[in-house]
Amino acid sequence: MAISLVENGKKKEGFIDFTPYFNKIKHKLIWCLVVVVVAAAASWILTRFMSSSYTATATVLFKAQSQDVTPLPRLENYDSTRSDYYETKYALMGSRVVLEAAVKALKLDRDPEFNGGDNLDEAARVNNALRALQKNLTISGVRTTQLVSVSMEAKSPQKAADIANGVAQAFIDYSLAQKQKILLQAQGWNEKMMDDLRDKLDRQKADIDDFLKQNGLLTFRSMDGYETERLGIVINHLADATQRRLKAQTVWDKVRRQQGKAPEAIISLPEISGHPQIQDLRIALIQTRRNLSEAAKHYGPKHPKYLQAQAQLQVVNGQIGQVLGELLNGLRQQYQIALDDEQHYQKMLDDQKADFQALGARRDKYNTMMTALNKTEELYKSLYQRANEQKLSESFSVPDEVIYDAAVPPNLPSKPQRGLLIVMATLMALALYIMYLIVSTALDKTVNSISELKAKTGLDASGEFPLLPQANSAKLTFQNLLYADMLHSLRLA
């Protein structure tokens, strides 16, 4: 008997009979329908009491680059190709400063739906409105595009659309205000720099004027040409003086080498013979010698005419010697004058070179000062032009964001989804009822058929006997041949 129970238990371990469960559900189909109807009706009634919420969505376009709507250069620049550019934009759109501006612009701090009560102070109402706005606001970017969706959930469809558009516009206004703020800061910086540069220009011009006054100049313009021309004149004079000195030195050296020789040898020199007095004296010398020769031939050495001719010859020789002395002295003085001129011009050239070098140093300093002045003027002009461009750009500034698709009031609420809630509640009620039927069937140990006897107890049936409809009918059991035969079979088993 024990062995049979173990074997029956092993057989029972891997066998599950779903028939009782299906039969139970089949018998309760009417009740399942009742549960479905009741759950649907109750869900429909409950959803009628739920407040509706509407969601409106506005689409904002982020421009990849600033539009060149004016011929003026752009005052701001950004790189939209960076990976964190649009994420930063999304975060800024949901930042407190933008939402606070939207709350004040839309007057949500005065709306009981957002402010938490009119009896609170202004700061508390604004904070409550901010929290409510952050809770019901959704900002999400459209993948691989420059678009961002701003969705707002509110009890009123018009309010949801207004708030979505208001938040988008608040962000656009905030971005534009930041650009204007940067522009004003740049204008202030430019004006300050222009004032500093204007003072610097005045100081530089005053320094240049003082420098020119100290050097006795009105300007350095054309001074290089003037000094160069002066230097050229001195060089030319020096060259002429050197040429004259060389010529005078050559004549003087030639004449000086002939000193101590006979006057006839000296006066034969080309530098001496061309002198008019020498030429006259040479003629007189020739004539005197001729007279002396004729007197010696006709009269003799003792004759008065001979002596007279001899005296005349001595006079002419004396005159020649005197003239030669004067000529030699003149040649020496001419050489000395030429030498003095050469030395004078050489000294002038040296002085001019020193002055020219000093002028070059002053010119370099002047050029350096003028270069600094010109650079300062160029920078001042650039800042002045930039300041004018900023003033023009201040009156015309284009935002980098635009509401591409404004939110419109939705026709249907987004919450609650009544149909879905009713279906879910009905299915859940039906599932719970079916689970109840399955659990109750599994816990029920009553044997209602021979097949259940084997499944629930693991015993084989010896026979079966029908359920009597009435308790007093048991007496009639033995009177019925069929019932009597069933009892007899059970006893034999």
What distance in Å separates the CA atoms of residue 157 and residue 387, rounded to the nearest whole number? Answer: 48
Is 410 domain-assigned?
A: no
Do residues 448 and 491 both lie within one domain?
no
Do residues 11 and 115 both lie within one domain?
no
End-to-end CA gap in the chain: 16
- Average pLDDT of the chain, as a whole number: 73
What's the total number of domains in the chain? 4
**pLDDT number for residue 5:** 42
Do residues 341 and 426 both lie within one domain?
no
Evaluate the omega torsion of the peptide bond into residue 409 and state whether it is cis, within 30 degrees of 0: no
Do residues 268 and 293 both lie within one domain?
yes
Do residues 81 and 11 both lie within one domain?
no
Most confident segment among 150-154, 214-218, 459-463: 150-154
Do residues 422 and 470 both lie within one domain?
no
β-strands 401-405, 54-62: how paired? antiparallel
Do residues 159 and 261 both lie within one domain?
no
**pLDDT number for residue 88:** 81
Q: Which residues contact 366 (CB under 8 A, 6 or more apart)?
A: 208, 211, 212, 220
Do residues 242 and 161 both lie within one domain?
no
Do residues 456 and 370 both lie within one domain?
no
Is 211 domain-assigned?
A: no
Q: In sequence order, what are the beta bridge partners of 403?
A: 60
Is 330 domain-assigned?
A: yes
Do residues 351 and 446 both lie within one domain?
no
Most confident segment among 146-155, 330-339, 418-427: 146-155
Least confident residue range of 4-8, 361-365, 390-394: 4-8
Q: Does the pLDDT value for residue 341 go beyond 70?
A: yes
Query: Which one, of 111, 114, 284, 97, lies nearest residue 173 by Cα?
Result: 97
pTM: 0.52
DSSP line for 289-303: HHHHHHHHHHT-TTS
Domain that holds residue 19: 2-50+416-460
Do residues 491 and 427 both lie within one domain?
no
**CB-based burial label for 63 (10 Å; 0-12, 13-18, 19+):** middle
